Structure 1
């Protein structure tokens, strides 16, 4: 008699075949019974569903200012490239990378591709909200609710297109939800995109709330502030002046001229106060904020901070004492500055020379240039650091204290270099400078100087004479007031002056910058995927 030896593998094979046979006879075995299922059809049915989508748009909008959602090592440098590096303000410390050497910029560039995708993601979400808010099955308590939801979405769409037209020029204009694959996009002339931005912002002004109690939500003033900039771009200066004036005359807002907020017991000044942890919202007494991107430490949805400290702070820890020890020891007060941004001489010295001792924005609290040895093991403890020429490449230069928490970080010291302050998207000082730019555009130097001087007066700076106001002076004043805050590349590209200003003030990038670099390249991945229509490339790339 023959005996069969069934090993373990054979046993499980027979068991599996048996189960498959059973399931073939009983189709209900494969039926899925989901406990819940979220889809556009059941999410966008009432105001609550749309509010959730709008909150998501605030989060994504915030990422334009933080390091989130850019690939890997591009995160810190990506935001810094938009806000400073490779402009008149400075360069990435090793000189060749991140728009230091413009010959390396092409249609495969990860930073320009990353921003294109991020901006169109905002537009996609805005279009879904606008399109689906008109579906007949949506329950609205009243039309005012619907229009306010649409106003939020249309503001974000305008905000994204504002970046796109200034950074890339002509871009595809998408105004409805896309529900299936499309391979036939074409570039819309910049003038038509600007017209749509105006229409979206005028709608937003009409239907967004006028009251702005917490400064972290959209308001009519935010839309009017942005509209003023767009009207400058279209050359409609009187409309730009009217839009800016509507914000300036709103009693909710005023320039902060007295110390306020959480750290008035610390040495500082009112400009320093504007940028301290917790001082960007209304509860701190701040009336200058129009819109702030909100960031909260250890709060769900609060984000994971920003890395301005890493970008703008010098790498002090590499400086040595005369006796060969580390001069600066890191701690919670210092954080983790890494010097991704090496300031230009223009930023560090030139813009301050005419008013060095008067301008509050150049005070030791706001532009720290002196550092002292804090290593107690050194015989030179407490002495002023005298940097070597090699130190000034990355380790010793002006530290813009906007990009710091000089009295400790809420998370304590860690290696992430994260800050958890809310970040200004718009504040009233810039509204004044936009109105000054509009006055300058129409040749009214008296009123242009008057608006600039209102901003300068807060900082105890010497007034500018009307005859000295031109676009270069205004850009200098924007640098003094909005350094770290404004997307400098966007401003210079908007004015078509990126190459001009780099040639004047950025010796690292000057040899390679050309006029066509005022625009970024259209991502090659978008051109290649667009197989049913021609997506043209910007000249020079």
Structure 2
């Protein structure tokens, strides 16, 4: 397996370096050229593992050992900025234009996501083309299985493109000639292709998640994503059907009892899901996970120090305060690129002292100190005057120095052998059943059925010990709040707000720093300037507001 992963990383890097088309003009002589790799089931295993690696590199930063290079902060953080959940204050310069709505077509991450997505698409198309040529399969079902994986990843990449840029060129094969005349395919047409790809994936990916390796796709991961894409398309009955297929499959359930590595230690079932080694179904018993990205520490093909900087993004820079030292129990090293907004996270678990309660019920376990750390105690035993005393959270520590604030513990990660690690070497649940229920609720709201929407949301709220919502209370704003309570930092918040057509409303309501600047046209990013400059032989219009 390690040899497959090493070979796949080499192959996918080779493919990615050339982009979507120019690379394919070269007369490849390397041992890992597609023409002599995609000649057997083993070769397609190599290519498949490379596609998984390239997909994981969405969360990559500097490219250390990874298949894709971004540089700057983690691009993922730009998808949380300028929304309704996080302030981006005194953060990495590569994030500030996103946060301040001063975005230009030349901004680094504008190009990063475009290039990453088309690298995934190029690699998926390569596998699809060679799968039609290969006749050397170990099993009669191998061909459609690899095609299903490739088509899932192609749809997944186009998902990012249409959310961020709207109309984008649709490419479904290898481009053998260098092309300077791309045109923008209408978004609706691209989404229709995504639906076709995901329906094929649902039909041909493995059914039983207990019979696939950790991190590998099943038909249920495809059905979960298909539900979301149907919502984006506005086909709410189809979205309902796809979500219910996952829920009714009998393979998954919401975790409601303690499990995993710390099940006999203080905590709760929600916090259990985010402890290291508790994400994968086969090893931890987590039956809520539908698709898990593999970032495991010190494993070939796992994470690197440049992968998944979510911890750095969301955890305060507490170690710069006198009286604190880095600790794995405090999440390791954080630099607070993203600071949770007070309107939703609150300042206390109860409002008895007059503080802001946020959007949680008092009994909601997602608001427990195991999941949102509000009580910080100085931990430097060398400082006797402070050790063990409670450290105050103030407006200055929260919004100026970013050294202490209520922290989301789902992103805590630290290893005593190297507490300065930047990467979060923890497998990441990309899709889990709680979100499937919330997608189902969104489908019911789209069909004007608030009672069924409330029933779906209440499956999630019941697990959390929260007060059940009534049909009279159930609307899109309530659902968006529930997605924060359940999925903050896991979902790409910008995507959710764009899909639900609530981007401007929510930013105006909850993000005062840009409330007077946000406009509907900012729901999309600009087309990267380098793409438009290179496309010399055909018009390639810019998105409104960025000319």
Alignment CA distance shift 1:74-1:86 (3 Å): farther
> Do the aligned partners of 2:111 and 2:528 also contact (CA within 8 Å) in 1?
yes
The answer as to whether partners of 2:314 and 2:408 remain within 8 angstroms in 1 is: yes
1:529 aligns with 2:534: yes
Q: Does 1:67 align with 2:61?
A: yes
Residue 234 of structure 2 corresponds to which residue in structure 1?
235
Counterpart position of 2:392: 386
Q: How far does residue 219 in structure 1 lie from its aligned partner after superposition? A: 0.5
- Deviations along 1:461-504, one digit per CA (max 9) or x if unpaired, are 00001111111110100010001111111111222322221111
Task: Please tell me whether residue 54 in structure 1 is matched to residue 65 in structure 2.
Answer: no
> CA 1:36/1:157 → structure 2, altered by over 3 Å: closer, same or farther?
closer
Contact 2:163 2:495 in 1 (8 A): yes
Residues 106-255 of structure 1: matches in 2 within 5 Å?
Answer: 106-135=104-133, 138-213=135-210, 214-255=213-254
Greater gyration radius: 1
Change (3 A) 1:37 1:354: closer
2:243/2:440 contact within 8 Å kept: yes
Deviation, structure 1 residue 399: 0.6
The 8 Å contact of residues 291 and 429 in structure 2, kept in 1 or not, is answered as yes
Provide the secondary structure at the position in 2 that maps to 1:146.
helix
**Contact 2:326–2:419 (Cα < 8 Å) also in 1:** no
Question: Which residue is 1:311 aligned to?
Answer: 313
Report the Cα distance in structure 2 between the residues aligned to 1:439 and 1:35, rounded to whole angstroms.
54
Question: Is 1:474 matched with 2:472?
Answer: no
Does the CA contact (< 8 Å) of 1:345 and 1:505 recur in 2?
Answer: no
Cα separation, 2, equivalents of 1:228 and 1:35? 42
Q: Which moved more, 1:84-93 or 1:447-456?
A: 84-93
**Is the partner of 1:466 in helix, strand or coil?**
coil
Question: Which SS does the other structure have where 1:134 is aligned?
Answer: helix
Aligned length: 496
2:344 paired residue number:
347
Q: Contact 1:91/1:99 (CA < 8 Å) preserved in 2?
A: no
**For the Cα contact (< 8 Å) 2:359–2:481, is it kept in 1?**
no
How far apart are the structure 2 equivalents of 1:360 and 1:419? Answer: 24
Matches within 5 A, 1:376-455: 376=381, 377-393=383-399, 394-405=402-413, 408-409=414-415, 412-455=417-460
Which deviates further from its counterpart, 498-507 or 516-525? 498-507
| C-alpha distance in 2 between matches for 1:481 and 1:50 | 37
Q: Deviations over 1:220-268 (max 9, x none)?
A: 0001001111111222111111111110011110000000000123211
CA distance in 2, matches of 1:160, 1:281: 23
**Secondary structure, aligned partner of 1:346:** helix
Asked if the contact 1:348/1:398 (under 8 Å) is kept, the reply is yes
Q: TM-score, normalised by structure 2?
A: 0.87
1:215 positional shift: 4.5
Q: TM-score, normalised by structure 1?
A: 0.88
Displacement of 1:449 in angstroms is 0.2
Distance 2:310 2:130 in 1: 37
The two structures, once aligned, show a CA RMSD in angstroms of: 2.0
What is the aligned partner in structure 2 of residue 297 from structure 1?
297
Q: Per-residue displacement from partner, 1:151-179 (whole Å, max 9, x unpaired)?
A: 00000000011111111100000000112
Q: Distance in 2 between matches of 1:233 and 1:419?
A: 31
Candidates 332, 335, 340, aligned match of 1:338: 335
Contact 1:64 1:79 in 2 (8 A): yes
SS of corresponding position for 1:199: helix
CA distance in 2, matches of 1:333, 1:413: 13
Whether 1:259 aligns to 2:258 is yes
Q: Secondary structure at the match of 1:290?
A: strand
Deviations 1:106-147 (A, max 9, x none): 100111110100000000001111111112x54234542111
Structure 2 unmatched ranges of 5 or more = 1-27, 348-355
Give how far 1:413 is off.
3.0
Give the Cα–Cα distance (whole angstroms) in 2 for the partners of residues 450 and 68 of structure 1.
44
Q: Say if 1:482 and 1:490 are closer, same or farther in 2 by CA, change over 3 A.
A: same
Deviations 1:155-211 (A, max 9, x none): 000001111111110000000011221111100001100100000000001111101
- Which 10-residue stretch deviates more, 208-217 or 147-156? 208-217
Partner of 2:496: 491
